[in-house]
Amino acid sequence: MKKFYGRETILSAIIKALSREKCLVITGMRGVGKSFFLEFLASRLKLSKKYLPILIDNIMGISLSIQLRITLHRLLISIENGDQNRETLSIQHTIEKIRKKTGLIPVILIDDADDADEKEIQDILRKIHQTKAKIVLVGVFPVCKCKHFILNPLDREAFHKLLRDKLSNMITDDGINRLYERLGGIPLYLEVLLPRITEMTKYKKMPLERSIVDDIINESVTHGALRSVLKNHLRSYVSLFGDYLVKLLTDNMIKNEELIKRIIASGLASLESGKLVIKDPLLRDFLNSKQKNEKDYLIYASARKKSRAIQKSGLTFIDNSLRFFHNETLINISNDPTPNLIEKLIKISKVLHAKKTLLIVPKSKATKSLLKKAHAHGIKVLQLENNKNFYEEGLKKAMISLEH
């Protein structure tokens, strides 16, 4: 099992709260480690011999209720060694049968709960309340008014310990402090940088000092992996919080109090002297640098709104990207495809039983490696010019493709 750093206090508080609460909500900004924390919480609950953790990795575009029913149904079959084709019971009845068979309290752990429909979340909560089970909902922002915990970035001590374990003595205290300042203790950013840091320290025998830290981070933000991660995070935030987020990031002018509460609850920002301040220092630096292009994100948000209107014709969102499912066809529109995009599409297409997959990317980003992988797995790649109308043109091409 992976090591767990610096979150014993919140972990203990959550487990203690479960003894008296029916429902808990855990929120946190992108990259803070919510999914890993949820897995670790599940392992701790299992060790307690009191709870039976049931993990649901929510896939947007598929009914959460259906995902939950299928997971519970399969679990019950495995417990009873029963017939795979047996009749599926209601969520309430299945939970109670599992509880009686195991003698444990089922705890439903739902990741990416904010991707689900709010009415569906309320319906699931109503059903859980009819049983002796408990539920933990995890996402960027709270999806209901249950007991709420915010998962913050690693503190300085935990961050130091993690780096020492990873890099032994090849890193100076000054280097660790600089990494913490620049990355804000966000685990995902460190994970992205570790291969480069390891190369510098272990193979080139260079002690990781302040100046080298800045060089590594700036290199990755300019044309490396961190740039892709930051752009994906920003797009995700825009899709969750809309154009208001862009206004927050550019001029701090937000008058929507409910939205302010949601952004603060996500852990992304805090209210300081009457102003919202982004708590992710790398994202803040990225937006204040020459890399920032406000129009790109507004265009993206606009494309999302237009594509939502297209849903009337049956087009369904799969997640926070421009990714849809319609007529057994999976469609992905991306102007900055990540190295693992093809693998992700393969996984999603299997879950959805998609017969066709269409990937729309800019010509400049259609690398030989991407095209080779796509071809090997039967994924059709459509290349467009990367201009300000890329997303809108991609949507038009997607709709044309579906008609044929």
Question: Could you report the per-residue pLDDT of 107-156, keeping only the tens digit for each?
Answer: 999 999 988 888 889 999 999 999 999 999 999 888 888 999 999 999 99
The percentage of the chain sitting over the pLDDT mark of 90, rounded to a whole number, equals 31
In angstroms, the CA 247 to CA 241 distance is 11
Q: Does residue 393 surpass a pLDDT of 90?
A: no
Mean pLDDT of 309-329: 58
Of residues 349 and 90, more confidently modeled? 90
The domain locations on the chain are 8-150, 156-223, 227-292, 301-403
Q: Over the chain, what is the mean pLDDT?
A: 81
pLDDT at residue 380 in the model? 92
Name the band, by pLDDT with cuts 50, 70 and 90, for residue 80: confident
* Structure-token pair, residue 297: 């994100």
Query: Is-same-fold flag (8-150; 301-403)?
Result: yes
pLDDT at residue 401 in the model? 75
Asked if 148 and 13 touch (Cβ cutoff 8 Å), the reply is no
pLDDT at residue 319 in the model? 46
Of the listed ranges 184-198, 312-326, 345-359, the one predicted with least confidence: 312-326
How, if at all, do strands 269-272 and 275-278 pair? antiparallel
What top-level class would CATH report for the domain 301-403? Answer: alpha beta
Rg of the chain over all Cα atoms, to the nearest angstrom: 22
Per residue in 264-305, pLDDT (tens digit) is 888 888 877 777 788 899 888 877 664 445 445 555 555 555
* Structure-token pair, residue 217: 């981070």
Mean pLDDT of 95-116: 93
Domain covering 8-150, topology: Rossmann fold (3.40.50)
Does the global pTM surpass 0.85? no
Per residue in 66-79, pLDDT (tens digit) is 889 989 988 998 88
Q: Does residue 2 surpass a pLDDT of 80?
A: no
With 0-12 / 13-18 / 19 or more C-beta atoms within 10 angstroms meaning exposed / middle / buried, residue 91 is buried
> CA-CA-CA-CA torsion for 182, 188, 193, 197, nearest 10 degrees?
90
pLDDT at residue 61 in the model? 62
